[in-house]
Structure 1
Amino acid sequence: MPPAKKRARSYDPVRTRAAVLAQLGHVRQGLRGLGAEQLGGPTRLGEWTVRDLIAHIGMAVTAVHRALDRPAPPKQDLAVVQWPFATSASACAIDEFTRGLAAGHLDLDACLTDVDASLRTLLDEHPGSRLLETDAGALPLDDYLVTRAVELVVHTDDLNAAVPGLQVPYDRQALAAATRLLADALAVKAPGGSTEVRVPPYAVVQCVEGPRHTRGTPPNVVETDPLTWIRLATGRVSWKDAVEEAKVSASGERADIGSLLPLMP
């Protein structure tokens, strides 16, 4: 008998909307403590400065605005779990857009304040079922907001890495959504049941082809914390470094999932 098809994970739309707004608010608060020298400092994202990174965070949120400005597509053609694999195709355009946005908005605090206010208005006006035509494909607004939570968490981590001592907090629900979506994407990339990947307290997925365990402790287990998992999945840290620094525990002959990472740039 073939294995039962896994049911796609669902996300609470009310919590997701609150998480996106909360994480954006954390970034805005952190931004207010940065001076000109810090804004011009480097990040781990190539040639982007901290100013470029913050402008990109605003751009990632206003992707909702741009999508809502377009006519609704006739049907959904992208599942939210497939979104991480579709992001690399737009990398060059995103880089160009980000640099232009950073150059054109000298007052980033005012810019993000406007982004926050306009997003709240749009979310009040549009139902979560409204289909959006995004750069990655067509999917409902509620699902697209899950991807915005991922963007906000990933780039909050980039911001914290770029500015020592900044420590912008992570909204718990936003961190949970980012962890779960990227864990589910791993299971899509490497379907199977021989390896269990645990990211407590938010996600557990089965992946990698091979013998499927049915009870007791699985023979192949990977375990890490949410931020390390997000860094692995987005290429911010390598599998080798995470294992050597004891940020990941991996036991079993099929527990080395380094070749499957990163899942998105």
Structure 2
Amino acid sequence: MDDKEVEERFVAKKDDDLKTRVWIESKTIWRIAFPSILSRVTSFGMVVVTQSFLGHIGEVELATYALIQSILVRFMYGILIGMSSATETLCGQAFGAGHHHMMGIYLQRSWIVDGITATILAPVFIFATPILRLLGQEEELAVAAGPISLWFIPIIYSFVVSMTISMFLQAQLKNLIVGWLSMAALVVHVSLSWIFVNKFKWGVNGAMAAMNMSGWIMVVGQLVYVFGGWCPNTWRGFSKAAFFDLLPVVKLSISSGVMIW
């Protein structure tokens, strides 16, 4: 075998190794990314479905819902998803260091910090009407926003649990369940919206009730997965340690929340 043949075989082997590494890395990336993409798409789909049903109820209801979504919910969602990214950072570090038991504690600390934040910001929805008046919205829309905005308070708390669990599972490559649960929640949401709005004629309350129920169905599914033994190394039950050393979590969560918002 001459030098040229040896060089050609070496190059071919190197190309095969590169293709193998690219294939392995691509599969790993999509294994993490696809459930997250699916979750975000279905989450947006639930918003669109509710908006579609409200559009059949009335123009004022549609405009009010869109107004609350674009101003109040995005404001709250940006802060919470930013704060939840702190859970991803902490859990990722713990998983990489082999401190698996700390991931469950970080998750509980995130629930505490994010839950308190959601409670502090909840008055934004309670006083939606005067806030929108202050922003110069039309009186009819500002008044209609009052009862609709109250329906978003349970949804915000579902974000607190759902987003942090998603980050917790993603850090250990177990977030495929999140994608499947989000798909199931979307199917349930479409079904409940049709039943509550078209069949029972419950109007705005029916559309918003369907959205709340669908969102919390997903949360319950995630909790069952975590508590049911599918994360034996990272979830070992509730711990008093979650109430200690909260300050570093608060700092990281606030900085992440402000950055995303």
**Same fold by TM-score greater than 0.5:** no
Q: Which one scores higher on RCO, CA 8 angstroms, separation ≥ 6?
A: 2
Normalized per residue, which structure has more helix?
Answer: 2
